[in-house]
Amino acid sequence: MKRRDFFKAAAAGITATATTSALLGADRNSRPNVVFLFADQMRAHDLGCMGNSQVITPHLDKLASEGLVVKNMIAASPVCTPYRGQLMTGRYGHATGVVHNDIKLPNSEITIADQMKQAGYHTGYIGKWHLAGHRDNPVAKEDRRNWLFWAVRNCSHDHFNPQYWINDETEAVAVDGWEPDVQTDVAIEYIRKHRDHPFFLTVSYGPPHNPYKAPERFVNQYEGRALKERPNVPPRNEKDADQLLHYDAMVTSLDECVGRITAELDRAGLRDNTILVFTSDHGDMLGSQGHRLKQRPWEESINVPFIIRQPGKIKAGQKRDWIVSSVDLMPTLLGLCGASIPDKVQGIDQSALFQDKDVEKRDSAFLFNTHNGGGPGCDWRGIRTKDWVYAFHMAGDWILYDLKKDPYQLNNLVDRPEYKRKRDELRDALDALRVELGEDLPLNGRLPDPIRLPKPTLIEPN
């Protein structure tokens, strides 16, 4: 189907669900809208506003200058389905059962869309869902969890051949075009149709997830730029030589989409009454430490972008080193909208912190991964503070880094006797967190792949 025809079908789907919005109750000005945009597999470091001078992200950098950047936004379980479970429920995977990919979110869990709908919002979800317990079939209505407008392909990374199920359709529609562009068309139409009523729109983009292949027009923007690898990437195989280029170019394609959405909010007169978020579910090692993809405790895997703009409420131009966990997103968004937060939520409502009305409540983030669902990585648990990260696996201590002195994690201090005290302190804190959060799952499976670095360096003890 041509992009234009798909757009018409999606617009009809938006109109069909929009008719219910009059029944929801809240007035346009009583609640801020939310546009929650998230990438798949994008690292915090791949943004101009995070100090990366080679990736082209003008719209995201502008958004950052108009809002708040959190530099330590931590994916508590750095892989798709567990992150999405946390985003929906504000609860960790060990509590909901969504501990690895392709697990269905139990219908007994209360979702962010349930709460937003109850607060009078219309809800819309576009893009990748990955909480249905399968990958390719349409998602049953009861499993859409109160997302009223729905244009979803549950899980695919065929970004050049997007397909969607709209609302209750049983047949998928295949669309010509680059997936984020098509999704952004629909998002813009959703915003237009809902400008007179509070809405909560989530767009779950696919890139820069592998396969590492971006459209030529974005790759061309990098012509003449020599892209430098992060200092913790050992030499690549020749076949992977273009990975970083295509990854960065995919990020630039999302940047353009964000630019289109911000322009539409301006045009619709909704800029000031809309909370706009850009983030990602987890990062990508892209060769750092000799590892690829995600499910690792290193920064490239756990630290994700986070920009939030709310004119007049969140002071513009802030860059903060606060620790925020992915499990905090649900209660924080509910808090910003004045919606009620369910009792069983484990995350922290950071809305008052973001709006400058409170002090920091979190000094560490709990990290969890299990390998049972396949994919890279192994079973491990970890703790990330502003200055340190520590993790263990089934055979014992694994990593310890001083992030202030060693931001690229070139010196694993875990076995260094002079850091024993720090290691024990973090391990105790992690043990305490596990008890507090009720996590005691056994660690099984396999040991991690070895760490590979370009060349050893040495960090001196404190």
Q: Is 246 a catalytic residue?
A: no
Q: Closer to Ca ion at the Cβ: 75 or 265?
A: 75
Closest approach of Ca ion to the CB of residue 67, in Å: 24
Which residues here bind Ca ion, judged by CB under 5 A?
40, 80, 281
Closest approach of Ca ion to the CB of residue 104, in Å: 17
Cα separation, 265 vs 35, in Å, equals 10
Looking at the chain, how many residues does it have? 462
Cα separation, 226 vs 245, in Å, equals 9
Considering 45, 49, 59, 80, which one is annotated as catalytic? 80
Q: Is 130 a catalytic residue?
A: yes
Return the SS3 of 458: coil
Closest approach of Ca ion to the CB of residue 191, in Å: 25
Is cis: bond before 231, omega within 30 of 0? Answer: no
Q: Closer to Ca ion at the Cβ: 281 or 300?
A: 281
Closest approach of Ca ion to the CB of residue 32, in Å: 27
Cα separation, 328 vs 345, in Å, equals 9
What single-letter amino acid sits at 51?
G
Lookup: tokens for 318: 């802030």
Closest approach of Ca ion to the CB of residue 174, in Å: 22
Cα separation, 114 vs 111, in Å, equals 5
Lookup: tokens for 196: 């007179």
CA geometry: angle at 41 spanning 255 and 263, to 5°?
20
Closest approach of Ca ion to the CB of residue 367, in Å: 16
Q: Closer to Ca ion at the Cβ: 256 or 281?
A: 281
Q: Closer to Ca ion at the Cβ: 33 or 243?
A: 243
Position closest to Ca ion via CB: 80
Q: Closer to Ca ion at the Cβ: 304 or 348?
A: 304
Q: Closer to Ca ion at the Cβ: 6 or 129?
A: 129
Return the SS3 of 429: helix
DSSP letter (8 states) at residue 104: B
Q: Are strands 122-128 and 149-153 parallel, antiparallel or unpaired?
A: parallel
Considering 45, 130, 209, 393, which one is annotated as catalytic? 130
333 contacts 347 by C-beta, under 8 angstroms: no
Cα separation, 100 vs 258, in Å, equals 29
Q: Closer to Ca ion at the Cβ: 7 or 125?
A: 125
Q: Closer to Ca ion at the Cβ: 273 or 295?
A: 295
Closest approach of Ca ion to the CB of residue 411, in Å: 29
135 contacts 156 by C-beta, under 8 angstroms: yes
Closest approach of Ca ion to the CB of residue 43, in Å: 12
Distance from first CA to last CA of the chain, Å, rounded?
62
Q: Taking each helix axis from N to C terminus, what angle separates 179-193 and 243-267, rounded to the nearest 10 degrees?
A: 10
CA geometry: angle at 304 spanning 299 and 335, to 5°?
135
Closest approach of Ca ion to the CB of residue 283, in Å: 9
Cα separation, 44 vs 99, in Å, equals 23
100-113 as b/e, with b when 16 or more CB fall inside 10 Å? bbbbebeeebbbbb
Lookup: tokens for 143: 């499993």
Cα separation, 374 vs 257, in Å, equals 32
Q: Percent helix, strand and coil across the chain, each rounded to 5?
A: 35, 20, 50
Q: Closer to Ca ion at the Cβ: 117 or 294?
A: 294
Cα separation, 11 vs 213, in Å, equals 29
Q: Which residues are catalytic?
A: 80, 130
